[in-house]
Structure 1
Amino acid sequence: MSKQNSVPNRTYKSTIFIRLMEDKRKLLEVYNAVSGNHYTDPELLTINTLENAIYMSIKNDVSFLIDSRLYLYEHQSTYSPNLPLRMLLYLGDLYAGMTENENLYGRKLVKIPPPQFLIFYNGQEELPDQRTLRLSDMYAAEETEHKLELEAVMLNINAGHNPELLETCSVLWEYAEYTARVRKYARELPVEDAVENAIVECIEEGILEDFLRKNRAEAKNMSIYEYNQEKHLRQEREASWEEGREAGIREGREAGIREGHESGISESRRQTAINLSKMGMDVEKIARAVEASVEEVQTWLADGDVRK
């Protein structure tokens, strides 16, 4: 088998997280942990994950019905502010499937389950325990009232984050622990060897033991793919940040020259901060990149919103 170290295929979506959530018992454990419920019968869940979403030629990670509500779960190893839009597209496909035999032009009201959106993040970029992503943040025009909103809660499941959740939910803790060990070994070994070491170690310690024993070859291939994809996307993002930083510096210098005073340096830092924020970088990292205080960056970003 050839080594899988090329640019990842973006349409390939089979991951260990998805495979774990195909087990209703594990999915119910995750649902109970994040919802605070204590259901014991996995058959209460009806899994309806899309097989092939029409807009992006990929399927969503996990979707299911319980208590007359629809839940969409996504796993992310690289942060993307565009997830609310992707989830909206998934939701449209799911509702279309649920109502295909209903008369949507009739007088009888068609009932649909209200949706909930959750993202499980375990990437290497440092992010807070919880963050809410909103569809309205993507709107190109400012509105006093949004006619369409979608809120997705992102939970950081890396070690050291959301300890109560990981203590409550063993499958999330085990998944995060396995991923952390792959990354640890990959700092010193080729990714294939790193994954093999992590699998052996986790089986010995009872971490995802049943899954890794039954699906060892598939798990290894998926882990190699996931690691390479995460590395590739991280490198792409770092390159984009650098391009944005350089573009901001150039624009700032040009602005300073046009205005005929020495504000070019200050303006370049401000423009760089705005560019990096548009690319999804958090305020603390922006402050380090442009050598400014967090408070100064926040002022620049707020001022940038006003100038739109």
Structure 2
Amino acid sequence: MRPQDRYKSTTAGAVSANRNYKDTVFRMLFSDKKNLLSLYNAVNSRDYTNPDDLEIVTLENAIYMGIKNDLAFIIDTNLYLYEHQSTYNPNMPLRDLFYISSEYQKMLDQKSLYSSSLQKIPAPNFIEFYNGSDPVCDVFEHRLSSAFEHLSGEPKLELIVTVLNINEGHNALLMEHCKTLREYAQYVAKVRKYTADLSLNEAVERAVDECIKENILADFLRKNRAEVISMSIFEYDKEEEEKKLRKAEYEAGVEAGEKSGIQKGVLNTARHLLELNLLSLENISRATGLSIDELKELQQ
């Protein structure tokens, strides 16, 4: 996709997101090897200085349900998959399982898995950088085994994603050691702050202008202003839509639970009346709304 196709100008001169564009400001920032190395060092308490020590291996065509892996790279014989999320997502281990399988398949494409020699692969590490508005602790984990139904004993397959809360005010030590990440958190906080009183387009433009004035991601924002505004609008819209979807799913679940509870109450009442043997089946049917056949089943 051409950069000029990623956004369009409105009549007021603001930038609106192209709904087919799914890149993120986070991914754009940390696709730069220098920034990515700084983030890696901060997360792992390392002190690499040469960005060329890091090999980016992100698979651009590794897409699951329209969502691509954000960043994948190899350093010091380890493979790291970094994901950015603006909404709570317990399914990240399953997504990462698909991504890591694609990575390994690409790496071993010209090698035989039927060989008597063991094919070595880089050890995987999975990190999610979360900056959604739902409150979460600074560090926690998602495990693939949490999705297993009727798990008995230790899982035979496990994948652990470490989640780091990168909202402003969280993980202070991490932010201290990665200036780009700290300033990204400040930018996101400004966007959220101004959306309370302004339209989304106006809020994003104001956040960008203010960050440049305050020397927050200033060079990056000057160079990529139009793309950043477009991506931020898309990201915030997507975040809000996902919140609405989760709210609707929750309300539907509550309603289903209430209906289930009412049905259980009706059945218990019918059983009690049948046990008392004081009313005919017809009268119990009128009292509970259950059919004669349903009441006969309960009797049995």
TM over 0.5: same fold?
yes
122-131 vs 69-78, greater mean Cα deviation: 122-131
Map 1:147-166; keep pairs closer than 5 Å.
147-166=156-175
Paired residues for 1:260-271 under 5 Å:
260=269
Equivalent pair of 1:195/1:223 in contact (CA under 8 Å) = yes
Q: Is the 8 A contact 1:49 1:59 kept in 2?
A: no
1:84-125 per-position Cα deviation (integer Å, ceiling 9, x unaligned): 000000000000111111121111111000100000000011
**Which amino acid is 2:29 matched to?**
L
Q: 1:116 to 1:144 in 2, by over 3 A?
A: same
8 Å CA contact retained: 2:22, 2:234: no
Post-superposition CA distance 1:16-69 (Å, at most 9, x none): 000011111110111011101111111100001111115545420000000000
Q: 2:256 aligns with which of 227, 247, 255?
A: 247
1:1-308 alignment runs, 5 A limit: 1-2=9-10, 4=16, 9=20, 12-53=21-62, 55-260=64-269
> Whole-Å Cα distance in 2 between the matches of residues 159 and 215 of structure 1?
22
* Bigger relative contact order, structure 1 or 2 (CA pairs below 8 A, ≥6 apart): 2
Query: Are the structure 2 counterparts of residues 202 and 33 from structure 1 closer, same or farther at C-alpha, using a change threshold of 3 Å?
Result: same
Q: What RMSD in Å do the two structures reach over aligned CA positions?
A: 1.7
CA contact (8 A) 2:73 2:79 kept: yes
Amino acid at match of 2:26: F
Structure 1 pair 205–192 and aligned structure 2 pair: CA distance change class (3 A):
same
Unaligned residue ranges in structure 1 (runs of 5+): 262-308
Superposed displacement of residue 13, structure 1: 2.9
Q: Output the CA distance in 2 between the equivalents of 1:222 and 1:173.
A: 19
Match of residue 290 from structure 2: none
Q: Deviations over 1:151-179 (max 9, x none)?
A: 00111111222112112211111111101
Number of aligned positions between the proteins? 258
Tell me, in whole angstroms, the C-alpha distance in 2 between the residues paired with 1:66 and 1:259.
63
More divergent stretch after superposition (162-171 vs 195-204): 162-171
> C-alpha offsets along residues 129-188 of structure 1, whole Å, 9 cap, x if unaligned?
111000011112222021110000111111222112112211111111101101111111
Contact conserved, 1:73 with 1:117, CA < 8 A, in 2?
Answer: yes
Question: Does the aligned pair in 2 maintain the 1:70–1:116 contact within 8 Å?
Answer: yes
Report the Cα distance in structure 2 between the residues aligned to 1:16 and 1:186, rounded to whole angstroms: 17
Moved over 4 A (4+): 2-6
Equivalent position SS for 2:68: coil
Q: Structure 2: how far apart are the matches of 1:177 and 1:113?
A: 34
Q: What's the TM-score, normalizing by structure 2?
A: 0.82
State the alpha-carbon separation in 2 of the partners of residues 221 and 54 from structure 1. 21
Alpha carbons 2:63, 2:69 under 8 Å: kept: no
| Aligned counterparts of 1:64 and 1:5: Cα–Cα separation in 2 | 29
On the 8 A contact 1:5/1:228 being kept in 2, the answer is no
Can you list the C-alpha shifts for 1:175-220, whole angstroms capped at 9, x where unaligned?
1110110111111111111010000000011111111010001111
> Equivalents in 2 of 1:25, 1:154: separation in Å?
22
* Residues 52 and 58, structure 1, Cα contact 8 Å, conserved in 2: no
> How far does residue 260 in structure 1 lie from its aligned partner after superposition?
3.3
Deviation of the 1:235 alpha carbon = 1.0
TM-score, with normalisation over the residues of structure 1? 0.80
